[in-house]
Structure 1
């Protein structure tokens, strides 16, 4: 059976990652959390105090970074490892969230991560979520989804996520963080967040994760069915 690439882009807090995981599980595809990759780089830069205006220091730091994912069946999630260390919870902290858009806008960082992502998807059968998957990483993806949602709904989802990781932040803090990320993600010069002309928009404001997943799976099934008749 033929396989496809599913690219899920959109704003922070729309449920992209959770939906992408569920879609990948249902199709028995690989799930690649590109956001976690950029968050891991951000965490490393913070811990090593890498100056974001020093190109040489950034290049040197990137050479020291190894990011990989491992399935955790017990918790039904993928764990993110940075240089052999499980950083799945650390990379979701508010401090990382506040800087990840700035770090991911750096040309050297994007070049390094995009190269890894493209290698991961060469054989197809992958679901990737992020900001520029359909526009930059895999412009040839057979299915492109663009997710959006009201700011308040996104903030409440992110607050629940943080609480589940024993981290706290006020709703106002999260709203401010999301507004800042939206601006940086959409205005950066290097591969900004953008809705491609062939992307299917899904507004997740009032949708459950199950409903989001079902919509994406229905679209993927249609594409796969068409490919089988060709």
Structure 2
């Protein structure tokens, strides 16, 4: 079991498109710490379930799948998401797609799935430290984390960010549809009975709306440095 007294953990939670993934990567690189992309794990379970034809209301089958994932993360170029391998197959592009985000929300509502993944997530907490990116890192998985950040941004700005990201990859997308999907996902994640998306009581809330990523990172780094001894 991890020990947050000897292995410092920084959690960065927030809704999709708030910038937490980019901030986590920058912070992990700056500190030289390990990185956990917990959202990718739920996306992987969703994709694997779809491939196997499992029902998304079958919590027991989904939990069994989650407990036996053969998944690997490999470093990518600086600023790029880690490569994701499932059963030795590179599924990085599928994992980052809009549809996989929807699948992730469908499997994340099941407590047995969350329990199956919790031990795996906590195993990432190794010296010299961990930066954990997700939706319930500070509330459920690492409640004793040294620093908890909760990033927010307006749904309109998050949709615009995602739109630009997908367009740059050559994908054909509709901004209005992206906004609707984000709003629906927010409602689903915030109102679910199991581990709803919300800031921990002791989290530092930072609004990234209209703020350059470098400035958001500077705010986060300052908070971390003020709370963790070098």
With structure 2 as the length reference, what TM-score do the two structures score? Answer: 0.90
Q: 1:219 to 1:74 in 2, by over 3 A?
A: closer
1:83 is aligned to 2:101: no
What is the CA–CA distance in structure 1 between the aligned matches of 2:148 and 2:128, rounded to whole Å? 14
2:17 aligned to 13, 38, 62, which one? 13
Q: Check the 8 A contact 2:59/2:110 in 1, yes or no.
A: no
With structure 1 as the length reference, what TM-score do the two structures score? Answer: 0.90
1:220 is aligned to 2:224: yes
Q: Report the equivalent of 1:94.
A: 98
Secondary structure of residue in 2 paired with 1:6 = strand
Instruction: Report Cα offsets for 1:40-76 as digits up to 9, x if no partner.
Output: 1111111111101223432443344222211124775
Q: Check the 8 A contact 1:159/1:168 in 2, yes or no.
A: no
Q: After alignment, is 137-146 or 120-129 more displaced?
A: 120-129
Q: Check the 8 A contact 2:8/2:146 in 1, yes or no.
A: yes
Where does structure 2 lack aligned partners over 5 or more consecutive residues? 1-5
Q: 1:89 to 1:170 in 2, by over 3 A?
A: same
Secondary structure of residue in 2 paired with 1:72 = coil
Q: After alignment, is 120-129 or 25-34 more displaced?
A: 120-129
1:55 is aligned to 2:36: no
Where does structure 1 lack aligned partners over 5 or more consecutive residues? none
Q: How many residues align?
A: 225
Q: 1:144 to 1:75 in 2, by over 3 A?
A: closer
